[in-house]
Structure 1
Amino acid sequence: MTGQTPTQTPAQTPTTAERIRSTCARATGAVVAIDGLDPTPTPLVHLLCDGSAALTVPASSPLTAVAATTEAAGVQAVLELTDYAPLPLREPVRSLVWIRGTLRTVPDREVPALLDLIAASNPHPALLEVNSTRGQDVLMRLEIESVVAADSTGAESISVAGLLGALPDPFCAMESAWLQHLDAEHRDVVDRLASRLPGALRNGHVRPLGLDRYGVALRVESADGDHDVRLPFPHPVDDMTGLSRAIRILMGCPFLNGLRARRV
């Protein structure tokens, strides 16, 4: 998280709560920790409307055994989410999220209904491992008490109400595949976007870093360090048609900037 992102106006960048929701939706680097134990990986993190988070952990983990002994009282835990860049960069971590609260095992009688509730909006493969014949994973609930997010610009605390009031970015599920495809197959597009960078940064190695409804982020890896730069869209976009148009405008396509082909 050593990149340097220029200050943007609120309309040009996701709110911290939106970024956290997107990170939760991806949950590619999530672990849950309690005192005295090594962090335990959790493949699923799902924010519930009551302000708690459902997560799965291996049935064989020491964490599961400790949580079982605490029963209804629960145990204090910290859920850490690491948002990794989709591409292999020198500094791959884009942001970190820490969610602190009380962790409890979901009672067996409540598991089927909660699994159905989660699957209705997030049919994650990890749900199939809960209470399966192989008994690999256990469903737990974290009663959230505090949320903190940190990136290259600093750290910020978010209220549970603020988190519940935000939505994941509409492109968060396809961001990784889209950026990987852009980097591997469309370097001409990356080069056109890089032409928008300040002159001092154009000599570095430019890679796609992020995508959201407000714009594209580029990482410049150079001899003097790493630099992150956001290229904001003219307006927020919500679908692939709007995204394609916004990218073409950033690339400098004249016809999408209001000009029309001359009739002959």
Structure 2
Amino acid sequence: MLLVPGLVVIHPDQLLPAARSVSPEGDLLLEFPAGSPVVRAATRARGDELTAVLDITDVAPVSVPHRIRGRARIAGRLTSVPGRAEPGRIVLGLEIVEVSVDDLWGAEEVEPDAFRDAVADPFVAHEAELLQHLHAAHSEEMATLSALLGDRSGQPECACAAHRPAAVPVALDRFGLRVRFVESGGDCFDARFEFPDPVRDIGGLRRAMHTLFEAASC
């Protein structure tokens, strides 16, 4: 959601960009319908006087307690970018000044240059689909991962399936898998399972998951 000081809209979805990308210079490129309130505000602003904040909420693509995985705020100066959009749409550029992230890995500030130079994880476009597949088709194998937790799991000595906490995959990247274990009383905790080596494609991910499940079943 793109928040512009002083801008009031009738429907919150008018603040949602239809598409977003990052320019080689590190600016955010946000696409809106040509007649949207945000576009009107940007085109009427003089120079770089219009500031805005892109407020991002990252929600786990599977049903799990505490489903919000993280939030980010990207603040900067908003301008229109002519000639970059299809008919009926306008691209707005957000020249980044400040970035803050608060997610499963912690809270931190990100320098604009670091944001510009960051490389997307190879699974960013498919993470939701992969997590949903793991949850729907491999729930039994996921539950066996509690065997790798040792004393951290807080489980009774019996490790049979009836006493295992439910295991829901909540995040996946080239370095590993994060799982949320939900116990029968409703308590939950996260565990991160690192892959032996970073994976680069689906084939590598399949092998890494097979190794992980095999280790849990031993």
What TM-score do the two structures reach when normalised by structure 2?
0.83
Q: Which has the higher contact order (CA 8 A, sep 6+)?
A: 1
SS at match of 2:47: helix
The CA distance in 2 between the partners of 1:239 and 1:152, in whole Å, is 23
For 2:105 and 2:196, how far apart are their aligned partners in 1? 23
- Deviation, 1:253, is 5.3
* Contact residue 146 and residue 165 of structure 2 kept, 8 A: no
Alignment of 1:1-264 (within 5 A): 31-38=1-8, 40-107=15-82, 110-111=83-84, 130-132=85-87, 135=88, 137-197=89-149, 198-200=152-154, 203-222=164-183, 223=185, 225-252=187-214
Shift of 1:252: 2.3
- What percent of counterpart residues are identical? 32
Q: What CA distance in whole angstroms lies between the structure 2 residues aligned with 1:196 and 1:88?
A: 23
Alpha-carbon deviations, 1:43-95, whole Å to 9, x = none? 32211111211011233332221111114335100011221111022222111
Give how far 1:138 is off.
1.9
C-alpha distance in structure 2 between counterparts of 1:153 and 1:224, whole Å: 23
- Greater shift after overlay, 79-88 or 217-226? 217-226
- State the secondary structure of the residue aligned to 1:50: coil
Contact 2:146 2:153 in 1 (8 A): no
* Number of matched pairs: 202
Partners of 1:57 and 1:139 within 8 A in 2 = yes
Q: Shift in Å at residue 225 of structure 1?
A: 3.7
- The residue identity in structure 1 corresponding to 2:55 is E
What's the secondary structure of 1:162's corresponding residue?
helix
Unmatched tracts of structure 1, length 5 or more: 1-30, 112-129, 258-264
- Return 70-79 or 201-210, whichever deviates more: 201-210
**Cα distance in 2 between the residues matched to 1:153 and 1:239:** 23
Q: Is the 8 A contact 1:67 1:74 kept in 2?
A: no
Distance in 2 (CA, whole Å) between partners of 1:212 and 1:42 is: 25
Query: CA contact under 8 A between 1:71 and 1:104: conserved in structure 2?
Result: no
For 1:178 and 1:195, the matched residues in 2 are separated by 22
**Off by >4 Å, runs of 4+ in structure 1:** none
How big is each residue's C-alpha offset from its partner over 1:238-257, in whole Å with a ceiling of 9 and x where there is no partner? 12222112112211259xx9
Give distance in 2, aligned partners of 1:160 and 1:103: 15
Q: Distance in 1 between matches of 2:118 and 2:39?
A: 31
Q: Could you tell me how far 1:217 is from its partner in structure 2?
A: 0.5
- Matched position secondary structure for 2:148: coil
Distance 1:153 1:168, change over 3 A: closer
* TM superposition shift of 1:164: 2.2
Secondary structure of the 1:242 match is helix
**SS of alignment partner, residue 189 of structure 1:** helix
Q: Is the 8 A contact 2:139 2:167 kept in 1?
A: no
Question: Which SS does the other structure have where 1:37 is aligned?
Answer: coil
**In structure 2, C-alpha distance between the alignment counterparts of 1:220 and 1:37, rounded to whole Å:** 42
Gaps of 5+ in 2: 156-162
Q: Is contact 2:26–2:117 with CA below 8 Å preserved after alignment?
A: no
Aligned CA-pair RMSD = 2.3
